[in-house]
Chain A
Amino acid sequence: DAMVIQNPRYQVTQFGKPVTLSCSQTLNHNVMYWYQQKSSQAPKLLFHYYDKDFNNEADTPDNFQSRRPNTSFCFLDIRSPGLGDAAMYLCATSRDNSYEQYFGPGTRLTVT
């Protein structure tokens, strides 16, 4: 079935140790998003790609980077995770602007 896949589902990393989260989609959607969601809070958009065009939210820390090597894959790199970066990271896709978004199951990141 067409879907959005995130790996790993759970990730534990040490304070300051770089970590990469991955997302893949079989929907062939143009847009891919990364959200951060902390406990009992709304998802917060970090950045998105429209095709290869990268769009960073103004308040996304420089510690967070993203790569989209092709239509299907998108990566979230956290260069030096801090304790405050512990959260659920959600990847989503949409066909185009102003369409519904399809979310992956999320990666829960723990920073020790």
Chain B
Amino acid sequence: SQQGEEDPQALSIQEGENATMNCSYKTSINNLQWYRQNSGRGLVHLILIRSNEREKHSGRLRVTLDTSKKSSSLLITASRAADTASYFCATDEGTNNLFFGTGTRLTVIP
């Protein structure tokens, strides 16, 4: 399967803490993307990191990519209750298909 795996499957933290989610994948990639999904809704694109990049920031989000280990991490700093959602990594192998990971369910407790 080309699907990535995310770790942990579920994460519960207090508001203000940092949340880290990890993604591992199996094939060479063009880029890796992170998406957020609120319960019962569509996905929202958060950040895209290309295979030649190692780190990228967007607001409270920090994404790293290690192509030698085929892994990526998403760090959300100073979490808020509104960050409660499922987070998916998705790999793009340049075929116009995105292969989504299994997702991490994040709960931020006010």
A69 to chain B, nearest CB (A): 21
Tell me the complex Cα distance, A92–B45, Å.
Answer: 11
Q: Judge if A106 is at the interface, Cβ distance under 8 Å.
A: yes
Question: What number of A residues sit within 8 Å (CB to CB) of B?
Answer: 27
A45 and B98 contact, Cβ closer than 8 Å, known pairs A98-B31, A98-B92, A100-B48: yes
Residues B36-56 near A (CB distance < 8 A): 40-45, 48
A9 to chain B, nearest CB (A): 10
Q: Are A101 and B96 in contact (CB under 8 A)?
A: no
Q: Which of B14-22, B68-76, B77-85, B99-107 contacts A (4 or more CB under 8 A)?
A: B99-107
Q: Which residues of A contact B (CB under 8 A)?
A: 4, 6, 31, 40-45, 48, 50, 55, 57, 88, 90, 92, 97-106, 108
